[in-house]
Amino acid sequence: MPVDRLLPSQEAHDLIALTRDIADKLLDPIVDEHEKSETYPDGLFAQLGAAGLLSLPQPEEWGGGGQPFEVYLQVLEEIAAQWAAVAVAVSVHSLSSHPLLAFGDDDQKRRWLPDMLSGEQIGAYSLSEPQAGSDAAALRCAASRTDDGYLINGSKSWITHGGRADFYTLFARTGDGSRGVSCFLVPGDLPGLSFGKPEEKMGLHAVPTTSAYYDNALLSADRLIGAEGQGLQIAFSALDSGRLGIAAVATGLAQAALDEAVKYANERTAFGRKIIDHQGLGFLLADMAAAVASARATYLDAARRRDAGIPYSQQASVAKLVATDAAMKVTTDAVQVLGGVGYTRDFRVERYMREAKITQIFEGTNQIQRLVIARGLTS
Q: Please, what is the minimum distance in Å from the beta carbon of residue 23 to ligand FAD?
A: 22
85 binds ligand FAD (CB under 6 A): no
Contact between residue 76 and residue 60 where contact means Cβ atoms under 8 Å apart: no
Whether residue 220 contacts residue 270, with contact meaning beta carbons closer than 8 Å, is answered with no
The distance of closest approach from Cβ of residue 244 to ligand FAD in the complex, given in angstroms and rounded to an integer, is 15
Catalytic position from the list 35, 77, 78, 363 = 363
> Shortest CA distance to 27 belongs to which of 211, 206, 234?
206
* Binding residues for ligand FAD restricted to 214-233, rule: CB under 6 A: none
Binder of ligand FAD out of 54, 159, 234, 322 (CB under 6 A): 159
Q: Among this protein's residues, is 363 annotated catalytic?
A: yes
The pairing of strands 209-219 and 224-225 is: unpaired
How far apart CA 250 and CA 184 sit, in angstroms, is 29
Report the candidate in 212, 198, 140, 135 with the shortest Cα–Cα distance to residue 174.
Answer: 140
For the chain, first and last CA: distance in Å? 45
Choices 50-58, 295-303, 316-324, 357-365 (CB under 6 A): range interacting with ligand FAD = 357-365
Q: Residue 202 CB, nearest distance to ligand FAD (Å)?
A: 8
CB of 160 to ligand FAD, least distance (A): 3
Site stretch for ligand FAD (CB under 6 A), options 19-27, 65-73, 121-129, 190-198:
121-129
Asked if residue 185 binds ligand FAD (CB under 6 A), the reply is no
By beta carbon distance, the residue nearest ligand FAD is 133
**Burial group, residue 271, by CB count within 10 angstroms (0-12, 13-18, 19+):** exposed
172 binds ligand FAD (CB under 6 A): no
> What DSSP letter does each residue of 277-302 carry, written as one string?
GSHHHHHHHHHHHHHHHHHHHHHHHH
178 binds ligand FAD (CB under 6 A): no
If one asks whether residue 362 binds ligand FAD (CB under 6 A), the answer comes out as yes
Cα dihedral: 326, 12, 234, 364 (round 10):
10
> Which of residues 159 and 327 has its CB atom nearest to ligand FAD in the complex?
159
Of 371 and 373, the one with the shorter C-beta distance to ligand FAD is 371
Strand bridging mode 224-225 / 181-187: antiparallel
Contact 51, 22 (CB under 8 A): yes
Among 209, 210, 230, 255, binds ligand FAD (CB under 6 A): 209
Verify binding: residue 360, ligand FAD, rule CB under 6 A.
no
- Taking the CB of residue 287, how many other CB atoms lie within 10 A of it? 13
DSSP 103: H
Where would I find the H helices in 104-225? 106-118
Say whether residue 168 binds ligand FAD (CB under 6 A).
no
C-alpha of 271 from chain center: 43
**Least distance to ligand FAD, CB of residue 158, Å:** 3
Q: Does 48 bind ligand FAD (CB under 6 A)?
A: no
- From the CB of 362, what's the least distance to ligand FAD, in Å? 4
Do residues 206 and 84 touch, judged by C-beta distance below 8 A? no
* DSSP 8-state secondary structure symbol assigned to residue 203: S
Q: Of 32-40, 282-290, 313-321, 354-362, which part binds ligand FAD (CB under 6 A)? A: 354-362
Residues in the chain: 379
The two beta strands, 142-146 and 149-160, are antiparallel
Nearer to ligand FAD, 56 or 368 (CB): 368
Minimum separation from the CB atom of position 108 to ligand FAD (A): 21
With CB under 6 A as the contact rule, the residue among 148, 367, 374, 375 that binds ligand FAD is: 367
**Least Å from the CB of residue 368 to ligand FAD:** 6
Site string for ligand FAD, 125-154 (x = CB under 6 A): xxxx----xx--------------------
CB 119 within 8 A of CB 63: no
Among 109, 201, 274, 278, binds ligand FAD (CB under 6 A): 201
Picking from 211, 305, 291, 226, the residue whose alpha carbon sits closest to that of residue 254 is 291
Active site (catalytic) residues: 363
Q: Which residues of this protein are in contact with ligand FAD, per CB under 6 A?
A: 92, 125-128, 133-134, 158-160, 201, 204, 209, 358, 361-365, 367-368, 371
